[in-house]
Amino acid sequence: MENCSVCGKELKSFIEIDGKKICPECFVCAGCGKSIAEEKYQNKDGKNYCQSCLKDMAPKCKICGKTIEGPVKKLGNDHYHPECLKCCEC
Ligand SMILES: [Zn+2]
Ligand SMILES: [Zn+2]
Ligand SMILES: [Zn+2]
């Protein structure tokens, strides 16, 4: 019998992540701690996050304040839409 590599309990059902077997309850979002066993998740910097946390982490445009999906222009620590940045330059 194998044990969960997070909580150490015996595995009845498991998910395999990076060669480690863990129980579904232990497979949680690194941001909010919600179980993401049944959800879409994405690996970011070696951690798994749920969709809503990923949305919160997405860069926001400093000019229009909207989340940037797609190409991001970076200036220092600030993020901009390429379109928004253009208006400022001219
Ligand atoms: Zn576990
Ligand atoms: Zn989350
Ligand atoms: Zn913008």
Q: Are strands 41-44 and 15-17 parallel, antiparallel or unpaired?
A: unpaired
Convert the pLDDT of each residue in 31-61 to its tens digit.
999 999 888 999 988 899 999 998 888 899 9
CATH code for residues 15-56? 2.10.110.10
The Å distance, Cα 69 to ligand 3 centre, comes to 10
Number of helices (H), then strands (E), in the chain: 2, 6
Q: How far is CA 58 from the centre of its chain?
A: 9
Whether 64 shows a pLDDT value over 90: the answer reads yes
Residues bordering ligand 3, an ion, CB closer than 5 Å = 61, 63-64, 81, 84
Distance from the alpha carbon of residue 1 to the mean position of ligand 2, in angstroms: 30
Measured from the alpha carbon of residue 28, the closest ligand is 2
Q: Where in the chain is the domain with CATH 2.10.110.10?
A: 15-56
Q: What are the residue ranges of helices labelled H in the chain?
A: 51-57, 82-89
Average pLDDT, the chain: 90
Provide the token pair at 49.
Answer: 């996050």
DSSP annotation of 62: T
Q: Is 26 helix (H, G, I), strand (E, B) or coil?
A: helix
**Collapsing DSSP states into helix, strand and coil, what is residue 86?**
helix
Q: What is the Cα–Cα distance from 79 to 87, expressed in whole angstroms?
A: 15
**Global pTM exceeds 0.75:** no
Q: Is the pLDDT of residue 10 over 90?
A: yes
Instruction: Return the ligand number nearest the Cα of 49.
Output: 2
Cα 67 to ligand 3 centroid, rounded to whole Å? 8
